[in-house]
């Protein structure tokens, strides 16, 4: 294996824990047969962006997509199903967690971290005091443990309301903290509720393991394309629509699909961005939200997967 110092790009040094994770994944039997796994000097080819136009590895992205299709079939996942490739990546992952490429922080790949909307619900509970600290990188079960330690049974009584999410049947009550935490871990998190975020978003076939290299902790900072000022200013990337939809990627897909449908038969004389703003002006962000079961717009492919 190459020395860890050999990994990095655009002036960034990849965290040594992330490099060790790369080596673990590249050797793991779950990923046997990954196309173009190694480049020069036996160096792991972790990234396979879709916009490579030339060179020895210009077709790596497409070959890896085919590899993921074969893996999906092996796991009994239909490639005609919605989000088949992300489902395959999650099922295939050997540990369910990964370190961040930039800082090394280990987070679960599951939807286990509170979104701001969920934290705001808790802040509005009348007995939750202003000195109670919130952290978007705290696992939701740890957050609930702390809430219970401070506020006792009252928080258990309020959790059925606080945890409400589209398409998920939350129990009307929890008999104990243990029962609540068990339900959250075994049923709520796997259902990927809209009030929680994954520690790392799926990104197959662009990344060897099928997940973004930057975890939730660093993605908005390290991936310059996700800076708020950038997301607010252009519409050629789905990340923009995520920004407009308050981070709800399901809503983002629906919004992007609606705009693309309306623009399909129009001449962009006034510019795509201007027309997109016309379409969305006056509309509530919530108007575009939808559950996975009713979602009618597939996630579009993007050719801008070169970081993260």
Q: What is the pLDDT of residues 71-86, one digit of tens each?
A: 999 999 999 999 999 9
What's the pLDDT tens digit per position in 223-274?
A: 655 555 555 554 555 555 544 544 455 555 666 666 666 665 554 444 444 4
Chosen domain end from 101, 125, 160: 101
Task: For residues 123 and 173, state if they share a domain.
Answer: yes
Task: For residues 181 and 242, state if they share a domain.
Answer: no
Q: Which domain holds residue 48?
A: 9-101
What's the pLDDT tens digit per position in 148-175?
A: 999 999 999 999 999 999 999 999 999 9
Q: Please state, rounded to an integer, the average pLDDT across all residues of the chain.
A: 81
Task: For residues 119 and 187, state if they share a domain.
Answer: yes
Q: From its phi and psi, is residue 210 left (phi > 0), alpha (psi between -120 and 50) or beta?
A: left
Taking residues 135-139, report their average pLDDT: 97
Task: For residues 126 and 167, state if they share a domain.
Answer: yes
Residue 222, pLDDT > 90, answer no
Look up the pTM and report it.
0.73
Split into its structural domains, the chain has a count of: 3
Asked, for residue 171, whether it belongs to a domain, the answer is yes
Taking residues 13-27, report their average pLDDT: 96
Task: For residues 118 and 168, state if they share a domain.
Answer: yes
Asked, for residue 41, whether it belongs to a domain, the answer is yes
Output the CA–CA distances (angstroms, integers) from residue 188 to 118, 132, 140, 196, 250, in the order listed: 14, 24, 11, 10, 17
Q: How many residues does the chain have?
A: 308
Asked, for residue 300, whether it belongs to a domain, the answer is no
N-terminal to C-terminal alpha carbon distance within the chain = 22
Residues 6+ apart with CB under 8 A from 35: 60, 63, 64, 66, 67
Taking residues 92-111, report their average pLDDT: 98
Task: For residues 14 and 88, state if they share a domain.
Answer: yes
Q: Which of 47-56, 228-237, 294-303 has the lowest mean pLDDT?
A: 294-303
What's the pLDDT tens digit per position in 174-195?
A: 999 999 999 999 999 999 999 9
Residue 245 is predicted with a pLDDT of 47
């Amino acid at each position: 294996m190459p020395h860890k110092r050999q990994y990095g790009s655009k002036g960034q040094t990849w965290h040594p824990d992330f490099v060790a994770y790369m080596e673990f994944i590249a050797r793991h039997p779950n990923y046997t047969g990954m196309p173009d796994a190694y480049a020069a000097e036996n160096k792991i080819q972790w990234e396979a962006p879709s916009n490579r136009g030339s060179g020895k590895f210009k077709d790596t992205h497409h070959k890896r997509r085919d590899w993921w299709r074969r893996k999906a079939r092996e796991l009994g996942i239909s490639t005609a199903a919605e989000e088949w490739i992300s489902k395959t990546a999650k099922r295939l992952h050997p540990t369910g967690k990964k370190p961040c490429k930039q800082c090394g922080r280990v987070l679960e790949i599951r939807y286990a971290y509170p979104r701001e909307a969920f934290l705001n619900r808790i802040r509005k509970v009348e007995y939750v005091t202003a000195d109670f600290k919130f952290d978007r990188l705290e696992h939701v079960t740890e957050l609930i443990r702390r809430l219970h330690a401070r506020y006792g049974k009252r928080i258990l009584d309020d959790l059925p309301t606080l945890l409400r999410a589209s398409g998920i049947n939350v129990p009307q009550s929890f008999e104990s903290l243990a029962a609540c935490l068990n339900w959250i871990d075994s049923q709520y998190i796997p259902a990927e509720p809209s009030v929680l975020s994954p520690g790392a978003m799926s990104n197959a076939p662009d990344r060897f393991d099928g997940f973004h290299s930057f975890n939730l902790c660093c993605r908005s900072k390290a991936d310059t394309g996700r800076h708020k000022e950038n997301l607010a200013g252009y519409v050629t990337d789905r990340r923009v629509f995520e920004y407009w939809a308050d981070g709800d990627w399901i809503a983002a897909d629906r919004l992007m699909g609606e705009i693309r449908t309306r623009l399909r038969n129009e001449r962009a004389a006034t510019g795509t961005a201007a027309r997109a703003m016309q379409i969305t002006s006056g509309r509530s962000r919530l108007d575009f939200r939808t559950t996975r079961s009713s979602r009618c717009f597939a996630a579009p492919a993007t050719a801008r997967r070169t970081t993260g």
